[in-house]
Structure 1
Amino acid sequence: MRISKKKQKVKGGIKLLLMALVVLGSQTSIFAQDFYAEGRIPIYEVPYTLPTVDSIKLVLGQVRSYYEASSKQQIIDKTTGKELKDFSKPNKNAAVTGGFSSEWSYTHGVVLSAFDYLDNVTGDKRYFENNPKFFDFVVKNLPYFRENDKQFGRDASGWPAIVHMHALDDCGALGAALIKTYQKTKKKEYLELINITADFVSNKQFRLPDGTLARNRPQYQSLWADDIYMSVPFLANMGVFTGDKKYFDDAVKQILQMSERLYIPQRELFDHGWNVTSGDYDPHFFWGRANGWTLMATAELLSVLPKDYEGRDKLLHLYRSMIRSLANLQDGSGFWHNLLDKTDTFTETSCTAMFTYAIAKGINEGWISHVYGPVALTGWNAVRTRILPNGAVDGTVEGTTFAHDNSYYYHRGTSVDATHGYGPTLYAGAEMIKLLQNDKIEIVKAKPNVINSTFHFLLKSEWPNKK
């Protein structure tokens, strides 16, 4: 049958249309493939998501459980490993069971202060219960170890950092936690250790002629940024506890006078250490945890210092400028590096937790702008990846001296047994809970699997329709 020219044209047009649709479909498929192949949708190294309060509580509970399982908190005979029952006479083999929760160490003090804070934030009493449990264990057995020390020497002291107190590391952080524990329990047996610590910090610890707390190591007359945390939280809590402003005065003085030697305005960061010999030409090493100690201590002092207190404005400037610098130095993963300005050093857990806490705290207290919210959020998400299923905190740099060469800082080890990361992680989680529950802020979530979406923290008072 013969087809008319008109029908041939229609048929030809349909054929062309079908061909066009096939081509368009194939191009769409190629376009869709290219859309992903070219990396237009970001793939984040650490989940770029908004944590929930429950997810944070779950992590914090894991860390608490790990801490609680770390030691039996017993006095044992170190030759047999068996628990001692007879304390009627000194025993040179008497020892405290090993493990984190039995240590008299500054890192343990940070954990106990964090437990006190989590009790306030969450109302979960399981955290704070660890505080009187540990301090009761200490004050009950300390007289026995003092007698042992008299007869057998330091190795039989149990907690030699108490019996032979000689540095801020021996008392400051634990002293702060002890004051907080006393404030809630009112156990009079804690007062002796509080007073011993106050006397040591105020009257016995070595100071420069202007009163700045210092050490004669590793160089003669050295300042360590770490010592801001080893002293200021204790002094701040003594100020609250006693009502004596001399403690507030000393706390403010320590930060401001330390900053005169250690804070580098051009970098808005603290050098790890300084010594008299090097003076104005001391080399600068911007170690992460030293800056973290500084920020955490400043936050604790600002929390209790009256708003019109002399020097408070200068403290706020240091706090704000450091956070501005740290926001720019944060790694794309959400972590910060062991040497903050050296992006080829490893990313480190303890300083990341410290900065996360300090930034979230600053927003919640109104000390810094809410726009820093995503910096804290991504910091927490990063820390979360370092919490092992059993609650151990991994990726924390080992104890680190005040050094004078990059090679040393570059090659520090990390471990779950470096306990400096546990307290800051607990603090960071507590403050992130408060940030997520902050009713003055609206959080606009980032949308997953889209080309361009981020988090925005909005201050409701700036938006009339959000009040």
Structure 2
Amino acid sequence: MKKIIYLLLILVIIPSGIVLNAQENETGRIPQYEIPYEYPSAEGIKAVLNRMKTYYESTSPQTIIDEKTGEEITDFSKFNPNAVPSRGFSSEWSYTHGVVLSAFSYIEDVTGDKTFFSDNVKFYDYVLKYLPYFKKNKDKIEKVKIGNWGRILNFHALDDCGSITAAMIKTYLKTKNDDYLELINQTADHISNNQFRLEDGTLARNRPQYKSVWADDMYMSVPFLTNMGVLTGDNKYFDDAVKQVLQMAKRLYIPEKELFDHGWNVTSGDYDPRFYWGRANGWVLMSMAELLSALPENYQGRSEILHLYRSMVRSLANLQGGDGFWHNLLDKNDTYTETSCTAMFTFAIAKGINEGWISHVYGPVALIGWNAIQTRVLQNGAVDGTCEGTTFAHDNSYYYHRGKSIYATHGYGPTLYAGAEMIRLLQNDSIEVKKARINSRNSTFHYLLKSEWPKKN
């Protein structure tokens, strides 16, 4: 009797266990995404961009202050040797601020919202208002550096002028304020005639090694040269921009990786150590996007640049993490995931699709990139997780341990650009998106080119 009862109990328990295990297995079959695998909205993206704009504006009153006391200077009849622009991102004459201002102009182009571009006018008017005060007293300024305006009176490097003045050209093309032209022409003269170059004309630096080429310098020069070509109609600027991309690529592009080494120097030559830093590759892609947008279709060198663009995108799609981010060293997954390069790649891939430079099948790569980036935009609009300014180094430990914070301003402009381009991608009428189903075991995003499919009756 006891045996019969025992057998009956087993028969009752086993099916319930099977059902329980089946339920557990069913739950485990639903993908658990680290970052929501969802389709963004233009309204949601715009809200992120608005938060960023509000925060960025709030960082500085755009005044002139006494550097020692922090007090605003209002009497400009005599020179104060401690006079500097007020602290804050939005008052800097810097290459990172140049990216932000270029992005603000682009957001106006994409959305029609003029409040972003108004920050450009406000900033350049601020510079033009107070720059004569410093020019007049140039001999009294130590090392001719003016706080966060750096070497605005005497450019030494591409960082001093290329990106910030490229944004100035974009602003000039909309405002036609001729007061901008002096600084624009000063930058053109420096980059074309005074900046150090290798014997073949490649823009270079004598730091940290003798005759060094940095991938970063593609962005510090090519967007300015491109926009100078647009402004003047003189092809010499386009020619120089094309030359910089192709000749830097000759030294830095690694075909088997389809990526750019961070830097190269003449001493190491063909045996230079290679480090595939994320943001350096981002600067390269953003530079090529700027140039490809402006060059006529059959311009000499354009097809070679387009090949570089496409090959980099192919490699980057493979290197993107499952959370949508890219790593600080692209080929080393144990380095941290980094915001600025993720934003740069997201922008460049979405831009490539929108312009028809790359296949629409890369749409999900941009989508999950944006989903990742927006998690780094804090509630107050600050952008977190961006690698601090980085030199051209020669060891992994340095790149692995770079700091990251909201104060590394390199992440702001690219994130603004990425948001604007994603809005364009969402509104791209040539593409149909089959969206992933929530809580589905097997569902993804498919970007389809409408023109490839038979018309529906």
How far off is 1:263 after superposition? 0.2
Q: What residue number does 2:55 align with?
A: 66
| Alignment partners' CA distance in 2, 1:43 and 1:426 | 28
How far off is 1:21 after superposition? 10
> 288, 292, 298: which is aligned to 1:308?
298
SS of corresponding position for 2:84:
strand
Asked if structure 1 preserves the Cα contact closer than 8 Å seen for 2:85 and 2:146, the reply is: no
The answer to whether residue 63 in structure 2 is matched with residue 80 in structure 1 is no
Cα pair distance change 1:282/1:233, threshold 3 Å: same
What letter is aligned with 1:311? G
- Match runs of 1:42-53 below 5 Å: 42-53=31-42
How far off is 1:139 after superposition? 1.0
The answer to whether residue 424 in structure 2 is matched with residue 431 in structure 1 is no
SS of corresponding position for 1:442:
strand
The answer to whether residue 386 in structure 2 is matched with residue 390 in structure 1 is no
Equivalent pairs, count: 448
> 193, 207, 212: which is aligned to 1:203?
193
Asked if structure 2 preserves the Cα contact closer than 8 Å seen for 1:146 and 1:157, the reply is: no
Q: What residue number does 1:454 align with?
A: 444
How far off is 1:127 after superposition? 0.4
SS of corresponding position for 1:458:
strand
Give the TM-score of the pair, scaled to structure 1. Answer: 0.93
Q: What residue number does 1:317 align with?
A: 307
| Alignment partners' CA distance in 1, 2:353 and 2:29 | 32
What letter is aligned with 1:33? E
Asked if structure 2 preserves the Cα contact closer than 8 Å seen for 1:363 and 1:372, the reply is: yes
| Alignment partners' CA distance in 2, 1:267 and 1:390 | 38
SS of corresponding position for 1:351:
helix
Q: What residue number does 1:363 align with?
A: 353
| Alignment partners' CA distance in 2, 1:224 and 1:337 | 20
How far off is 1:34 after superposition? 2.3
Per-residue CA deviations over 1:126-148 (Å, capped at 9, x if unaligned) read: 10000010001001111111223
Per-residue CA deviations over 1:108-166 (Å, capped at 9, x if unaligned) read: 00000000000000111110000010001001111111223312433673523211210
How far off is 1:30 after superposition? 3.4
Cα pair distance change 1:48/1:210, threshold 3 Å: same
The answer to whether residue 154 in structure 2 is matched with residue 168 in structure 1 is no
Asked if structure 2 preserves the Cα contact closer than 8 Å seen for 1:145 and 1:156, the reply is: no
The answer to whether residue 21 in structure 2 is matched with residue 30 in structure 1 is yes
> 330, 339, 343: which is aligned to 1:353?
343
SS of corresponding position for 1:457:
strand
> 364, 368, 388: which is aligned to 1:374?
364
The answer to whether residue 444 in structure 2 is matched with residue 464 in structure 1 is no
| Alignment partners' CA distance in 2, 1:348 and 1:452 | 29
Per-residue CA deviations over 1:184-218 (Å, capped at 9, x if unaligned) read: 00111100000000000000000001000000000
Q: What residue number does 1:342 align with?
A: 332
What letter is aligned with 1:147? K
Cα pair distance change 1:31/1:258, threshold 3 Å: same
How far off is 1:310 after superposition? 0.4
What letter is aligned with 1:138? V
Cα pair distance change 1:466/1:20, threshold 3 Å: farther
> 81, 98, 110: which is aligned to 2:99?
110
What letter is aligned with 1:52? S
Asked if structure 2 preserves the Cα contact closer than 8 Å seen for 1:442 and 1:459, the reply is: yes
Per-residue CA deviations over 1:301-349 (Å, capped at 9, x if unaligned) read: 0001000100100000000000000000001110000000001100000
Q: What residue number does 1:9 align with?
A: none
Q: What residue number does 2:140 align with?
A: 151
Asked if structure 2 preserves the Cα contact closer than 8 Å seen for 1:262 and 1:274, the reply is: yes
Q: What residue number does 1:90 align with?
A: 79
| Alignment partners' CA distance in 2, 1:447 and 1:20 | 39
| Alignment partners' CA distance in 2, 1:110 and 1:313 | 26
Q: RMSD value over aligned CA atoms? A: 1.6
| Alignment partners' CA distance in 2, 1:324 and 1:317 | 11
What letter is aligned with 2:271? Y
Asked if structure 1 preserves the Cα contact closer than 8 Å seen for 2:144 and 2:153, the reply is: no
Q: What residue number does 1:10 align with?
A: none
Asked if structure 2 preserves the Cα contact closer than 8 Å seen for 1:172 and 1:233, the reply is: yes
| Alignment partners' CA distance in 2, 1:25 and 1:405 | 58
Per-residue CA deviations over 1:63-118 (Å, capped at 9, x if unaligned) read: 11110001000012233322211111211121211000011110000000000000
| Alignment partners' CA distance in 1, 2:109 and 2:87 | 29
Moved more, 155-164 or 381-390: 155-164
How far off is 1:277 after superposition? 0.3
| Alignment partners' CA distance in 1, 2:75 and 2:289 | 45
| Alignment partners' CA distance in 1, 2:113 and 2:272 | 47
Q: What residue number does 1:271 align with?
A: 261
Asked if structure 1 preserves the Cα contact closer than 8 Å seen for 2:144 and 2:151, the reply is: no
The answer to whether residue 129 in structure 2 is matched with residue 140 in structure 1 is yes
- Listed as ranges, the gaps of 5+ residues in structure 2 are 1-7
| Alignment partners' CA distance in 1, 2:178 and 2:19 | 77
How far off is 1:52 after superposition? 0.5
| Alignment partners' CA distance in 1, 2:29 and 2:141 | 70
SS of corresponding position for 1:223:
strand
What letter is aligned with 1:434? R
Q: What residue number does 1:40 align with?
A: 29
| Alignment partners' CA distance in 2, 1:217 and 1:199 | 22
The answer to whether residue 218 in structure 2 is matched with residue 221 in structure 1 is no
Q: What residue number does 2:3 align with?
A: none
SS of corresponding position for 1:307:
coil
What letter is aligned with 2:164? L
| Alignment partners' CA distance in 2, 1:282 and 1:205 | 24
Asked if structure 2 preserves the Cα contact closer than 8 Å seen for 1:148 and 1:156, the reply is: no
Q: What residue number does 2:4 align with?
A: none
Q: What percent identity do the matched residue pairs reach?
A: 69
SS of corresponding position for 1:44:
coil
Asked if structure 1 preserves the Cα contact closer than 8 Å seen for 2:226 and 2:294, the reply is: yes
Of the two, which has the highest radius of gyration? Answer: 1
| Alignment partners' CA distance in 2, 1:190 and 1:361 | 29
